[in-house]
Amino acid sequence: MKFLGADGYSDLQLDIVGFLAILGESSVLVQSQVAALSYFFLLPRLVPAPQALIRTSRPERLDSSTGVVVGAYSGGIRHHINHLAHLLHEGNTLPAYSVRCEKVTYTTSTSSDVKARLFGPITWLSILGFFMSIALFGLAIRLNDGFALVAILALSFLSTLVGIGNRWSLKLKKRTADRAVPRSDVVLNYPNGSFLIIKCNENTARQLYWHPEECDYMVGSTAYRAISLCGTLILMFGVICLGNATLDLQIGFAASYIILNAAYWVVAALPPKWNWDLSYYHVERIKYEESEQADSFTEALWKAIAITQTAHWVPVGRIAPVSKGWDNWIKEAEYVAQSGPGAWDESANVVRGLPKWDYNAALTQHLDDASATNKV
């Protein structure tokens, strides 16, 4: 069985190599926002699917995660979990019906900016694409391939152009008023029935859980649209030149884009937290004397109420079903929680044993009483 003719690899047809330059859009998009925080994003380099970064409009804020954020004492509520909070607490690792407690404070030895990690995975992708551009540029000059030279210049500087258009920074808002406020503890409830109880000050709560994570772009909307138009034309021109390059350079381009697509896919599969520098915050996980794992949603909710020593946040966030039986159970749970010394020992930073209470029997009794009342 033969694959090549008498002229060897010169018979190989790679007219479709231009399509390789625009494949891999999903793996580029998934990390584009954090990548645009890094100065390496401005490097002239090869990028798979650069059209993914050429959009008619840019995201106004970071993507949020599904869940509910409730102020344990303030009564505030958000029906989503901010991106940075989700990354910082690794909410995707919470088992179902678990109740985790963490304390968030500021570090004093780092910048107050949240930014891309200097030498995170996305940085190495930019460096890899840059050196591939250099290698292909040198090869095009050596083989005297004009079309390949124009293609590498167009496709490489396209990344710098769209990098300018997408470059942004994140400004963390701080509290300006000095009035008294309720305790800033926050409860995060995820769809799998898990709870994350956070102790923090008011500034931290506002930055991570309450304030929108808005993108402050380097260029305005009008300039961005002009950049997108120029980028689209450069991309088309570069792909046309690539299709007219010699076979040697087309093979080089094909190999480069295959390697880059594989690298971008691998980085997209890594934990997103690896790309962020969140060293401004220090997260301390509070230990349990027993276990933070519960067997049911009822037990998890009881643990969360006992640890916060208030049930004020439960109806605010609509955490539990809305019925008379559940309402009465929540009131009793709060009473039992406040009758004890408190499950969270702040002096020792440990969650001790919960107050002794048969929460299942109490819930059954309240639901039966409510059902009997409704029948009458």
Q: Check: CB of residue 201 under 8 Å from CB of residue 271.
A: no
| Rounded Cα–Cα distance for residues 85 and 146 (Å) | 50
Tell me the pLDDT tens digit for each residue of 22-60: 777 888 888 889 999 999 999 999 999 888 888 888 888
Its pTM stands at: 0.84
> Given this model, what pLDDT does residue 5 score?
47
For residue 262, the 8-state DSSP code is H
Instruction: Tell me the C-alpha distance between 125 and 24, whole Å.
Output: 14
Instruction: Give dist(CA 220, CA 66) in Å, integer.
Output: 30
Question: H-helix or E-strand containing 29?
Answer: helix 25-29
d(CA 45, CA 232): 16
> Checking DSSP bridges between strand 195-199 and strand 99-106, what pairing results, if any?
parallel
Written as one string, the DSSP assignment of 119-132 is: TSHHHHHHHHHHHH
Q: Residue 49: which region, alpha, beta or left (left: phi > 0; alpha: psi -120 to 50)?
A: left
Task: List per-block mean pLDDT (blocks of 10 residues) for the chain, which spans 376 residues.
Answer: 46 58 82 90 92 88 91 89 92 91 81 81 94 95 92 94 92 69 85 93 88 89 93 90 87 91 93 90 85 91 90 91 91 88 69 83 86 63
